[in-house]
Amino acid sequence: MKPDKSDKKINELISRAIGRQRPTFDFNKWQADHQKEIQTYKAQVKKPSDSVESSEIWRKIMKSPITKLAAAAVIIITILGGINFWPDSPGNRKWWLDPSAAWGQEIIQSLEKVKTLVYRQRVASVSDYGNAKMGVGWEQRFCSENAYRRDSYDWRDGTTVINTQWVLREPDGRTKYEVSYEYQCYFQDKTGGRFYSDQMDSFRWYVGLLHKADRILETKFFEGRECVGFEINAGKYGDNPESQFNRIWFDVETKLPARIEKHGHRSSFDAAQAHTVIHDQFEYYTEVPADIFTPQIPQDFVNAHPDEIRDARKGQMTFADVPEGLKDQIVAAMKKAKTMVYQQGDMTVYSSPNAWRYDYYSADRLQKSEWYVSEQYDTGETGFEIEDKVLRVVRTTVDFDSRTYRISGYISSRHPMHEIVFFAGLVDRADRILENRIIDEVECIGFEISAKKYGDNPESMIHRLWFDADTKLLVRMEFEWETDKPSKQNLKQQFQRGQFQWDSDLPADTFTPAIPEGFGTPTKKVQ
Amino acid sequence: MTEKLQTELVEAALAGDIDSFGQLARRYYASLVAVAYAILADHQLAEDTAQEAFARALTNLSKLRKPDKFAPWLAQICRNIAKDMVAAKARQVNTEDSCRAPDNGGRDDNVEAVRGAIEQLPFRAREVIVLRYYNGLSYEEISSVLGISKPTINGRLTRAKRKMARYLKCNGFPENRL
């Protein structure tokens, strides 16, 4: 087959653009770097998934509490393997097209055999103004009829267990134990509430809801397994908003739940985004490993709730009495606006739903303009894992000084409205409500917020937000903090964003990149 | 490597022969690097992704139901890891000033234009172009890793190149160079 011959020129161009020497693979080095995976693989080979023996599996193999727990989690998943309840089921039949009452009952009966369930929980943030992003931190959860455990992995690196929680069923309620490796503390709490076995109950509940599914999704591969999904609007049950919906995916071969997605949960912290909670990597076991559900509290840890230690480190926080519902009014007003313009120093920012622009000035002379235009990004049939919204941003930069332009595409680049709405959503966490003030001839309500209330910001960082008392739209943002460099004369640093215009009459071409005639790319500068 | 030999190697690996897995890994390394590069557009990350894909494949090998579909299965694992990396990269860029995102200054214009043309392709087309031209994979190798026939590959390549040519023309690329 010589299919490319007629395209000699373009073949050469492509080869020149992306071609490189074929990489070689050093398997010996790879083996040396992946001892853990090789051991796991060897253990799997020794113990086929249908011969479950627990005596050796649950032994303690490491001394450090964190690594021991993490290693134990790996052992469960990799050695026992999954259970195939339908080994003889015909491979190609689309059983999910039958009424769910028939096969749903089969699933519930099969789940009765499961004594321990292990799965992963991750949370993706879905911006109202851009892409979805999977969180780095995640949880591994272990569920049995009488015990539950959750290992939380660090949100900064995703590799270290920072917190473990055990909840044990008691004759008269439940006892919760929590160990924070991050804050080196633990606490124990006994309550009379019902023990909730978490995901197992959810499974039964979801299966019972399948007849209400809005649609059956096309099959898709997760972790190399073909799965079929059902989508159910959460408004069909409970007191949930219509914007929430769930997807439950079943392994086509085993019929067992393989993935659950809960979409559209608004973030209580960031008003500009929602969350998608994903449960996956389900493993089903027929035994209950005692050690996994036995709380292990390091001897030198102090008895305190992690929140107490964290709050003590951050210093006292004060909260003003912000009227209920005011934050929602402010956020709703800004989200309703189609366009926004503001000034920050020598920069003017223009924003619309699908495009934004920065103009940089020096002494009233326009030096540079940057346009960001977002468009749908095709990541293929299987898609980005959170495939509902994948946007790519194309940036066009025009430099009027050097008479050059540049066009480049990125998957990321944060929409300016996201940050604005994020800050506006903090008003219900304000330290104090400021006295009304007239700014730009508008009567404004103001809030002062300490930035230590989110992230790892320093004690000294303060935001002041001023909103139009009537329209609730943002009028000015002030940022203030103290530099940690004593050599600087002015220790206090500040900047502000102001002269906001909402839904103003912008020229039609505001968001259309305009490259002046005669401008070239940086390597081909036109004199 | 014949399909029969490949299946035998997969079955041997499933039975615990790590060297057989090694042979498979050597066989598919270049293909996986290309699969990852189609998503990441970064040589080093693409190689890291391929190696991580082997690690995940090895620990999940017992879940592979169809040994003859080993390569497409491996490629899908690789795509998933690469897409997670895209998400991670996006996160990193977002924490910085968007004005400081990497630029493409100083590179050959033709190269940039062609890369731009590849980037605008739909994913499937982009992937097949990268597989063919990034490491110079044969149709045989592409067919194995994508799990599609050689005529299908040929069709995809032809259509992809036509789209690229159209894009380049529309963006002022000299027609006599196409």
Pairing mode, if any, of strands A161-170 and A147-153? antiparallel
- B93 and B160 share one domain: no
In degrees, to the nearest 5, what angle opens at C-alpha B60 toward C-alphas B54 and B61? 80
Q: Are residues B123 and B157 in the same domain?
A: yes
C-beta of residue A188 within 8 angstroms of C-beta of residue A216: no
From residue A447, give the alpha-carbon distance in Å to each of A402, A421, A466, A479: 43, 15, 7, 12
- Kindly list the distances between the CA atom of residue A78 and the CA atoms of A284, A417, B11, in Å, as whole numbers in the listed order: 12, 44, 19
Of the candidates B16, B33, B118, the beta carbon closest to that of A45 is on B16
Q: Does A526 touch chain B (CB under 8 A)?
A: no
Interface test with B, best of A1, A2, A8, A25 (most B CBs within 10 A): A25
Nearest CA in chain B to A28: B22
Contact A44 B62 (CB under 8 A): yes
Whole-number pLDDT of residue B108: 59
For A145-272, strand residue ranges (E) read: 147-153, 161-170, 173-180, 185-191, 215-222, 225-233, 245-251, 257-266
User: Tokens in use for B113?
Assistant: 């234009």
Is residue B47 assigned to a domain? yes
| CA closest to A17 among chain B residues | B111
DSSP string, A56-72: TTT----SSHHHHHHHH
> Does this chain's domain A36-311 share its CATH topology with A326-502?
yes
> B157: which chain A residues are within 8 Å (Cβ-Cβ)?
3-4
Q: Are residues B66 and B94 in the same domain?
A: yes
Q: Give pLDDT, residue B109.
A: 66
Residue A169 CB neighbour total at 10 angstroms: 16
| Total tally of structural domains belonging to chain B | 2
Could you give the CA distance from residue B106 to residue A54 in angstroms, rounded to a whole number?
61
pLDDT in tens, B2-50: 677 788 889 889 888 888 899 899 999 999 999 999 988 888 888 889 9
Contacts of A24 in chain B (CB under 8 A): 29
> Which residues in A lie closer than 8 A to residue B154 (C-beta atoms)?
1, 3
Q: Do B84 and B113 have their domain in common?
A: no
- Tell me how close the Cα of B144 comes to any Cα of chain A, in angstroms: 16
Q: Quick check: is B152 in a domain?
A: yes
Alpha-carbon gap: A461 to the closest alpha carbon of chain B (Å): 18
Residue A345's Cβ-count burial label (10 Å; 0-12, 13-18, 19+) is exposed
pLDDT of A350-386, one tens digit each? Answer: 999 989 999 999 888 999 999 999 876 655 443 345 5
- Whether the CA torsion B63, B65, B70, B74 is positive or negative: it is negative
Mean pLDDT of A215-235: 85
What H or E segment, with its residue span, contains residue B86?
Answer: helix B70-94
Q: Minimal Cα–Cα distance from B1 to chain A, Å?
A: 17
- Fold observed for domain A326-502: outer membrane lipoprotein receptor (LolB), chain A (2.50.20)
Q: Residue A79 above 70 pLDDT?
A: no
Interface test with A, best of B58, B66, B68, B76 (most A CBs within 10 A): B58
- Give yes or no for a contact between A296 and A290, defined as CB atoms under 8 angstroms apart: no
- From A274-283, A327-336, A389-398, A435-444, the region with the lowest mean pLDDT: A389-398
- Cα–Cα nearest to B78, from B37, B113, B120: B37
Residues with Cβ within 8 Å of residue A450, at least 6 apart in sequence: A317, A431, A459, A461, A462
Pick B161's closest partner by Cβ from A7, A24, A30: A7
Angle at A141 between CA A139 and CA A133, to 5 degrees: 30
Is B80 inside a domain boundary?
Answer: yes
A27 touches chain B (CB under 8 A): yes
Q: Report the CATH number at residue B80.
A: 1.10.1740.10
CB A249 within 8 A of CB A223: no
Residues B97 and B120 in one domain: no
User: Can you tell me the mean pLDDT for A316-329?
Assistant: 89
Q: Which CATH number fits domain A36-311: 2.50.20.10, 3.30.565.10, 3.40.50.450, 3.40.190.10?
A: 2.50.20.10
Q: Do B59 and A78 touch (CB under 8 A)?
A: yes
Beta-ladder partners of A450: A462
Residues 6+ apart with CB under 8 A from A10: B161, B164, B165, B178
Q: Which of B48, B79, B102 is the last residue of a domain?
A: B102
Inform me whether the C-beta atom of residue A90 falls under 8 Å from chain B C-beta atoms. Answer: no
The percent of chain A in helix, strand and coil, each rounded to the nearest 5, is 25, 35, 40
Task: Lowest mean pLDDT of A6-20, A313-327, B91-105, name the range.
Answer: B91-105
Q: Are residues B117 and B98 in the same domain?
A: no
Q: Is A478 in contact with A490 (CB distance < 8 Å)?
A: no
At A54, is the pLDDT very low, low, confident or very high (cuts 50, 70, 90)? very low
- Report yes or no: A454 at the B interface, CB cutoff 8 Å: no
**Chain A residues touching B104 at Cβ < 8 A:** 406, 408
pLDDT average, residue stretch A483-507:
78
Considering the domain architecture, whether residues B9 and B48 belong to the same structural domain is answered as yes
Q: Which two tokens stand for residue A465?
A: 């937000």
B98 and B26, same structural domain? yes
Q: Is residue B150 part of a domain?
A: yes
Judgement on whether residues B161 and B148 belong to the same structural domain of the protein? yes
A297: distance to nearest CA of chain B, Å?
A: 31
Looking at B65, B84, B102, which one is the last position of a domain? B102
pLDDT at B85 over 80: no
Q: What pLDDT is attached to residue A368?
A: 94
Tell me which chain B residue has its CA closest to the CA of residue A40.
B59
In angstroms, rounded to a whole number, what is the distance separating the alpha carbons of residues A489 and A483?
10
Confidence at A393, pLDDT banded by 50, 70, 90: confident
Interface of A with B in 397-426 (CB under 8 A): 397, 406-414
Structure tokens at A213: 């599914």
Sorting pLDDT into bands at 50, 70 and 90, what band is A194?
Answer: low
Interchain contact A46–B (C-beta under 8 A) = yes
**Final residue before a domain boundary, out of B78, B102, B126:** B102
Mean pLDDT (whole number) for A105-124: 85
Mean pLDDT of chain B, nearest integer: 82
Shared domain check, B112 and B94: no
Nearest to B25 among A27, A221, A414 (CB): A27
pLDDT at A65: 33
Asked whether the beta carbons of residue A22 and residue B30 sit closer than 8 angstroms, the reply is yes
- Residue B11's domain comprises 1-102
Mean per-residue pLDDT for A185-214?
79
B16 contacts A23? CB cut-off 8 A: no
Find chain B residues with C-beta within 8 A of A372's C-beta.
Answer: 98
What are the residue boundaries of the structural domains of chain A, listed by start? 36-311, 326-502
B91 contacts A382? CB cut-off 8 A: no
| pLDDT at residue number A386 | 56
User: How many CB contacts within 8 angstroms connect chain A with chain B?
Assistant: 191
In this structure, the answer to whether residues B97 and B122 fall within a common structural domain is no
Average pLDDT over residues A23-51: 72
Q: Is residue B178 situated within a structural domain?
A: no
State the Cα torsion B45-B48-B53-B54 to the nearest 10°.
160
Residue B114 lies in a domain: yes
- β-pair partners for A227: A220, A251
pLDDT in the model for residue A417: 93
Please state which of the ranges A95-99, A410-414, B117-121, B146-150 shows the lowest mean pLDDT.
Answer: A410-414
What is the average per-residue pLDDT within B145-164?
90
Q: Is A12 on the interface with B (CB under 8 A)?
A: no
| DSSP-based helix, strand, coil % in chain B, nearest 5 | 80, 0, 20
Tens of pLDDT, residue by residue over A38-47, are: 878 877 775 4
Report A:320-359 residues touching B (Cβ under 8 A): 358
Whether A358 sits inside 8 A of B60 (CB atoms) is: no
Chain A interface mutation, best of B99, B103, B109, B138, highest count of A Cβ atoms under 10 Å: B99
Shared domain for B83 and B13, answered yes or no, is: yes
What does the alpha-carbon distance between residue A248 and residue A239 come to, in Å, rounded to a whole number? 20
Output the pLDDT for position A108.
82
Furthest-apart CA atoms within chain B: distance in Å: 57
Res A367: pLDDT: 94
Q: What is the model's pLDDT at position A197?
A: 62
Residues in B closer than 8 angstroms to A379, CB to CB, are 39, 83, 123
